[in-house]
Amino acid sequence: MKIEELFSVKDKVAVVTGGSRGIGEMIASAYLANGATVYITSRKADVCDAKAIELSERYNAQCTSLPSDLSSLEGIEKFVKEVEAIESGIDILVNNAGAAWAEPIDIFSEKGWDKVMDLNVKSVFFSTQKFLPLLKKKATRENPSRVINIGSIDGIGTPVFETYPYSASKASVHHMTRVLAARLVREDILVNAIAPGPFPSDMLGSAVAHNYEGIISRNPVHRMGRAEDVGGLALYLSSKAGSYTVGETITCDGGTISATGHDLSE
């Protein structure tokens, strides 16, 4: 029952998609700070490479950049092969890469819809599918492999912005998590999801001109999310402490959903 044993990810191998910034970087940092080897990916090679170097130096751990475009099956397969060339198996897959698109309903574009659904839903399923052989190699009954899908409270409540496919995609991620969990638990792979609320990020920041005061004023704990909030939750789900939690979507939002009755515009 000791903390260092219950929540340990030491010597585990983790893959974090979209790990060069935002919530992906926060989760990657939590793993690295606690002795895991981490592979991160994003579309922008220079940004991803620089972030891997930065995180490796900060935590004195191994963070490797493998830039990829996960919006297509070809990009996913390329990424998996690159990981497979280095590692014989992985312990943790965090499906975090995602996109948002906001337009008024009367002019909302098919391009925006397809971009969001392809990256936020299709890539989550096919990344999990293609990484299954590597996940199975590390999976045991006593020490299952883990898949963590990053959803959103926008997939639970009603969002403020006109981001129609984003909300739909995250609701899909939450339900797909339950379906995948029911199937993959037989293979000693545990699947869960995190539904973050407001965290500082390029995606949210661009929507509010990086002025978070209004969001903070509506949040029951009167602050934005911090790295330790989502990082700690990822550590729980990836460790012995979370080995009896299966198919859950856990909100990480400072009480936003509970306090607003699922309406984020309140």
Show which residues are catalytic: 166
Alpha carbon distances (Å) from 119 to 69, 113, 177:
9, 10, 16
- From the list 63, 180, 179, 163, the residue with the least C-alpha distance to 113 is 163
- Cα separations in angstroms, 15 against 19, 62, 154, 194: 9, 12, 25, 16
Retrieve residue 188's tokens: 């000693």
The H or E element that residue 63 is part of is strand 63-65
- Are 84 and 134 in contact by the 8 Å Cβ rule? The answer is yes
**Helix %, strand %, coil % of the chain (to 5):** 50, 15, 35
Amino acid letter for position 182: A
Q: Do 31 and 12 meet the contact criterion of CB atoms below 8 Å apart? A: yes
The amino acid at residue 177 is: T
User: 100 — alpha (psi -120 to 50), left (phi > 0) or beta?
Assistant: beta
Nearest to 35 by CA among 15, 52, 59: 59
Other CB atoms within 10 A of residue 89 CB: 16
